[in-house]
A and B are shown apart, each in its own frame.
Chain A
Amino acid sequence: MISKRRPGSQFHPPFTAETGYEPDFAFPIPFTLCYHSSMKFEARGLVKVFPAPVFSGGSPLRALGGLDIEAGPGVLGVEGPNGSGKTTLFKTLAGIIEPDGGTILAGGVASGAERLRELAAYCPSNPRAFYFRLSAAENLRFFGALAGLSAVQALERARQLADKLELSAADLERRFDRLSEGNMQKVSLIRSFSRRPPLLLLDEPFRGLDADSQQGLMELIKEAGRDSAVIISSHSPELLREAAGRIITMEGGKIKNGE
């Protein structure tokens, strides 16, 4: 069960003329990133084929085979065996890799990879994609800047999220390569959550976390799911079912029949 440890949403309220909600990005980014926090995302007939390396004698890998998916404010769980295409799906929705076929709609509008990188934040299953010689806080400040956050915003959000995830202030100031694997995972989660994106993609987010931190993450996922589309994967059926209101199963690059 999820404990109600801390009140207050980490995410913005939806924009209305009455609320007067204003974007808090440090510089202008396409307005939809700031305002469309209740956006629906749809993928239709998504295909991704990775070519075999030249002269390798191998064959192309069909990672996504015409997949349809819908996510839109709320939490969607994705399960499936290794190699079923979950990570490829996440990276395609995040605009990190480009699909070979199909369409991705964001708020009903067909969106390419560039647009998706503005709308989505992806937390990879491997938490080591950081600058090891910099502190966790400096890393978050840097990646925050790339996402349009000022230093003050990035560090303030990092502190709030670190508190939720049981990452101490000392660990936040510690050099990244001196963190434990679990704490690296927390920093990786903070990097994604702090963008407060309309689409949050969490690939194996519970990996390496202790029980208290898992509960903190569960709260954050629920909070994010109120305004954003959150898609998570996990090899733990219990955690996935606790976190997500809806679960789909992938197999061979497709959604398993009947789901």
Chain B
Amino acid sequence: MKSTAHIIAAFIRRDFLAERSYRLSFALGALATLANLAVFYFIGRLFGGALAPQLEPYGAGYFTYVFTAMAFFGYIGTGAGSYAGRLRLEQTQGTLEATLSTPLGVLPFLAAMSAWNFLFATFELVVYALAGIFVFNLDFSAANWPAAALVFMLSAACFAALGILSSCFVVLFKRGNPLAWVLNNFEGLLGGVYFPVAVLPAWLLAVSNLLPVTYAVRAFQLAVHRGAGLAAIGPDLLILAAFDIVLIPASVWLFSLSVNRARKAGTLGEY
């Protein structure tokens, strides 16, 4: 346990120092987040305060809905995207083989690899929350925070597992990652991040029901805006837990297999 904490701290320090050395990129990233929010704010103003029928279950206007979903998805999506991204970066800068030449085990490596991304995403989440309350005057007084936190944990673990699965493609094929393609292009569209999935046609709704993000966003919105408790969001939580039970061990196992295969083929240092 102590050793894993030591490793995670070393990765966070490394990534912080590297990130700090690109100051302009750091500032532009923060500005991009604000610009994104502004787009949805003005879309919300265009359509006024009236609730669309599909938003009624959440008791929130369009901007409130999309703001909450983006803040939430921004954090849990970190797990989905950062593993493959980090691994690819290590490959291209030639440090992956050096890192995996040490006694470092797969579990501490996976725990540490995206630690900085999660830390930074937490910071962004706090910025979102402060902006929501003090700039956009959003009302979160009805929120059931313990239930929201539970959704948050189950969802973050599930998306981290998807991210680890996605990084297996990077280890084996270097470029060309079908899972990352699906996660990047369809999770937001079909998972209810930008609009409730109720607006989708029936056949797309069926696809949407296969994605964990659908359950995660719905449960989180209900917990935050309706104060929904375990009774109301229990089925969504159970489905998220089932995804976790399957995906977490499977992703770690498949990642170990991928690394071992790359060692066997001698391609660990290739990019």
Bitwise interface map of A from 109 to 141 toward B, beta carbon under 8 Å scored 1, else 0? 000010001100010101011111110001001
Cβ–Cβ < 8 Å partners of A51 in chain B: 265
A150 to B264, CA, bound (A): 31
- Which B residue sits closest to A132, measured CB to CB? B93
Cβ–Cβ < 8 Å partners of B94 in chain A: 126, 128-129
User: In the complex the two chains form, is B260's CB within 8 Å of A98's CB?
Assistant: yes
Q: Which of A10-18, A26-34, A209-217 sits within the interface?
A: A26-34
User: In the complex the two chains form, is B10's CB within 8 Å of A129's CB?
Assistant: no
A141 to B6, CA, bound (A): 12
> Does A50 make an interface contact (CB < 8 A)?
yes
Q: B interface vs A, CB < 8 Å?
A: 2-3, 6-7, 9-11, 13-14, 17-18, 21-22, 93-95, 97-104, 260, 263-266, 268
User: In the complex the two chains form, is B7's CB within 8 Å of A48's CB?
Assistant: no
- Which A residue sits closest to B9, measured CB to CB? A145
User: In the complex the two chains form, is A97's CB within 8 Å of B266's CB?
Assistant: yes
User: In the complex the two chains form, is B102's CB within 8 Å of A117's CB?
Assistant: yes
User: In the complex the two chains form, is B265's CB within 8 Å of A133's CB?
Assistant: no
A27-B3 in contact given A97-B263, A131-B18 (Cβ < 8 Å)? yes
4 other A-B residue contacts (CB within 8 Å) besides A28-B3, A131-B93: A131-B18, A142-B10, A143-B99, A145-B6
A182 to B10, CA, bound (A): 26
Smallest CB separation, A121 vs chain B (Å): 8
User: In the complex the two chains form, is B264's CB within 8 Å of A129's CB?
Assistant: no
Residue among A48, A94, A96, A126 with most chain B CB within 10 A? A96
Cβ–Cβ < 8 Å partners of B268 in chain A: 96-97
Task: Jot down 11 A-B pairs with beta carbons below 8 A, ordered by A.
Answer: A27-B3, A29-B103, A50-B266, A96-B97, A96-B263, A97-B268, A118-B103, A131-B18, A131-B95, A133-B22, A143-B102
